[in-house]
């Protein structure tokens, strides 16, 4: 399959596919006539794995490690579990940060709605840094 067909089937743009090839996330892609990349079914399966890993917010470095572990799954469980637990901890931290941000924005919105006059209390608070 050529890159356009793989892009359509994988959900990745041709530029992303070239990038994944360049950084070694994909194995060496065979070249056909004229030097065009020729993808096989195994490449599509690998791209589907990458797509699913990205959908749960694994980084490209994490995905590289997961792909390495996928190729030799025997005994991979502890390392995969560690990567997944680290991702979960990161997500929980982000959720805490988002909850704090939500609280602050709610407070600022309340200031604006309860204020009278020409000035904007949100801009005043942001200027004051409080």
Residue ranges of domains in the chain: 1-72, 81-130
Yes or no: domain 1-72 corresponds to CATH 1.20.1530.20: no
* pLDDT over threshold 90, residue 100: yes
- Of 90 and 124, more confident: 90
Could you give the percent of the chain with pLDDT greater than 70? 98
CB 52, CB 13: distance < 8 Å:
no
Could you give the percent of the chain with pLDDT greater than 90? 71
When pLDDT is averaged across residues 23-28 and rounded to a whole number, the result is 92
Q: Rounded to two decimals, what is the model's pTM?
A: 0.79
What pLDDT, on the 0 to 100 scale, is given for residue 47?
97
pLDDT in tens, 34-89: 888 899 999 999 999 999 999 999 999 999 999 999 999 899 999 999 999 999 99
- DSSP annotation string for the chain: --HHHHHHHHS--HHHHHHHHHTTSSPPPEE-GGG-EE--HHHHHHHHHHHHHHHTT--HHHHHHHHHHHHS-TT-HHHHHHHHHHHHHHHHHHHHHHHHHHHHHHHHHHHHHH--SSS-HHHHHHHHT-
What pLDDT, on the 0 to 100 scale, is given for residue 130?
54
């Amino acid at each position: 399959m050529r890159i356009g067909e793989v892009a359509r089937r994988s959900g990745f743009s041709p530029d992303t596919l070239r990038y994944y090839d360049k950084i070694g996330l994909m194995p060496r892609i065979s070249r056909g006539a004229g030097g065009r990349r020729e993808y096989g079914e195994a490449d599509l399966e690998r791209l589907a794995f990458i797509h699913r890993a990205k959908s749960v917010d694994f980084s490209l470095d994490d995905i590289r490690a997961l792909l390495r572990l996928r190729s030799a799954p025997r005994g991979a469980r502890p390392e995969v579990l560690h990567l997944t637990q680290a991702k979960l901890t990161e997500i929980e931290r982000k959720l805490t940060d988002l909850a704090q941000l939500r609280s602050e924005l709610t407070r600022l919105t309340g200031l604006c709605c309860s204020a009278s006059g020409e000035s904007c209390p949100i801009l005043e608070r942001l200027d004051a840094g409080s």
